[in-house]
Structure 1
């Protein structure tokens, strides 16, 4: 089972939308606890039209993972250093898909001189990101009502590490 990572194209939008929705509905059950209001709010912007816009934006960097010819995951980096999306199909979890997506995003961030990445992560995914060097700065409310963890990672080793809350108070 090889995992191929490549830059996303608008033609990937339909399959990527399916990956997003499956990952949230099936893979994040523990986070939304099958609460219809939270689930629907979380899925609300995961539409073909939105994914197409995210992938078409020249300022975003989107990558997809293919495993055995099928789309297995995607990640999206914004110019502000936000990891806006990082989702894997349930059967792709613990198979290296997420790690490979993050490696690609971090490489691109460094090439764009982005020294820190940040994100909101559902609690079930936070340990994965923490194993890869992301700092959990505590709970925050996501725009769709789910309590998430705010995580960040320093990419530029020459910059002194910041305090836990992603501010410059430690300087």
Structure 2
């Protein structure tokens, strides 16, 4: 886990939180930080962490839902992230689709996940693709940059 957290030093986090292009959230009670979330304007969820004591208490779900609402406000068609294997099931329960398992920048194995923000784009991959609906295969492994084409 130390590799996964290696780029999450106080200095780096402060820079991410200060960036005008990011939307940052902190869940706290009486100055105790209980969770953090970070969304880029490219639709990439960079952080979604809660303290171990709050797992399954709804804090992570609230952070994630708030970031998804901001992404919708920005007009993004989907959000994406790389997850540890441990957190994968959390995202699947929130409606995320799983892509490939691959090495993350931190060097550990991560799973690529994304979620459509427009309900008309969701549905099983086996359904015929509606006009304008992104192909699932086109989204797997994307880096979330805004300059990429979302529809194929």
Q: TM-score range by the shorter chain?
A: 0.7 to 0.9
Pick the aligned partner of 1:113 from 69, 75, 85: 75
Q: In the alignment, what sits opposite 2:135? A: 162
| Structure 2 counterpart of 1:81, from 30, 39, 43 | 43
User: Among residues 22, 45, 60, which one is paired with 1:98 in the alignment?
Assistant: 60
Give the match's secondary structure for 2:85: coil
Please, which runs of 5 or more residues in structure 2 have no aligned partner?
Answer: 122-132, 141-148
Residue 6 of structure 1 aligns with which residue?
Answer: none
Q: Map residues 31-50 of structure 1 onto 2, 5 A cutoff.
A: 32=1, 39=2, 41-50=3-12
Does 1:140 pair with 2:102?
Answer: yes
Matches of 1:170 and 1:79, distance apart in 2: 18
* TM-score of the aligned structures, taking structure 1 as reference length: 0.71
- SS of 2:119's equivalent in the other structure is coil
Aligned length: 133
> 2:62 & 2:101 partners in 1: Cα distance?
26
Relative to total residues, which structure has the larger helix share, 1 or 2? 1
Runs of 4+ displaced beyond 4 Å: 167-171
Q: TM-score, length-normalised on structure 2? A: 0.79
Q: CA RMSD in A?
A: 2.1
